Amino acid sequence: MKLKVCGLKYKENIVEVANLQPDYMGFIFYPRSKRFVGEDFEMPFISANIKKVGVFVNANFDYIFHSVIKYKLDLIQLHGDEDSFYCEDIAINFSQNESTKNVKIIKAFGIDENFDFNILESYKDHCDYFLFDTKTKDYGGSGKQFDWNILKKYNNSKPYFLSGGIGLEELKKLSDLHLPIHAIDVNSRFEIKPGLKNIEMIRRLVDMLMC
C-alpha cells in the first residue's frame, strides 16, 4: 500500500514529513477546516517523486484552478458533495489547459453500512481515484473508522484511497482483510495538534509499510 499524509499546514513540519518520502502529501484548501493552509500559505520545496494533493470541499472552479497553478498540485481531492457532472467539468477543463492536463482527480465518498457502490459508476470516467472515508455530518476529519469489511462489496476497477481513523495498530488489520487498497490516507492519529504531524510516528508507519 502507498501512503498519503494529509492535513499538513506548517512549513518546517512539511519539510520533515517530505524527508520521510511518503507517496502523497495532502494540503487542505477548505477554510472551515482546522487544517486549512490559510490564505498566505507558501509551499516549501517537495521532491517531485512525492505527489502533492490539494483537498477541496464544494469549491468553485476558479479557486481550484488557481490553487493548482500556484502550488503546482499533482492531484485534487474533491471531498464535498460534488456530483459527477461537476467532476466531468473539472476533468474537461483541466484536460484543455497545458498547465493542468496531467492533474489527477480523487473523489471522496463518506461510507457507512448503507453505502451503495453503484453510485460510483457515473463518476468513474471523470475521476482517477476514489477515496473512502467515514461518513459524518461534516466533511471528513472525524478520526473514526467505518467497517472496512464493507469494502469487500466494492465492484469497480478504479483504484482507491482509504481514510478515516487509521493508526499504526490498524496496519495488521488491513493486511488481514486483503483489500485492494491503493493507498492509506492518514491524518489525525499522527498529529501533535491539527496540521502538525508527529514525525516519529510517521517514520514508524513508513518503516512498517516497507516491511
Which residues form the domain of 33? 2-210
How confident is the model over 87-93, as a mean pLDDT? 98
Whichever domain contains 28, its CATH number is 3.20.20.70
d(CA 69, CA 78): 17
And the C-alpha cell for 31? 477554510
Q: Is residue 55 scored above 90 in pLDDT?
A: yes
84: closest CA among 135, 115, 118? 118
How confident is the model over 1-20, as a mean pLDDT? 97
Q: Which pLDDT score, from 0 to 100, does residue 81 have?
A: 95
Q: Which pLDDT score, from 0 to 100, does residue 141 have?
A: 63
pLDDT in tens, 126-168: 999 999 999 988 776 667 899 999 999 998 999 999 999 899 9
Q: How many domains does the chain have?
A: 1
Count Cβ atoms within 10 A of the Cβ of residue 79 and give its class: 0-12 exposed, 13-18 middle, 19 or more buried.
Answer: buried
pLDDT in tens, 110-130: 999 999 999 999 999 999 999
How confident is the model over 55-83, as a mean pLDDT? 97
Alpha helices in the chain (DSSP H): 11-18, 61-71, 84-95, 170-177, 199-210
Q: Which pLDDT score, from 0 to 100, does residue 68 have?
A: 98
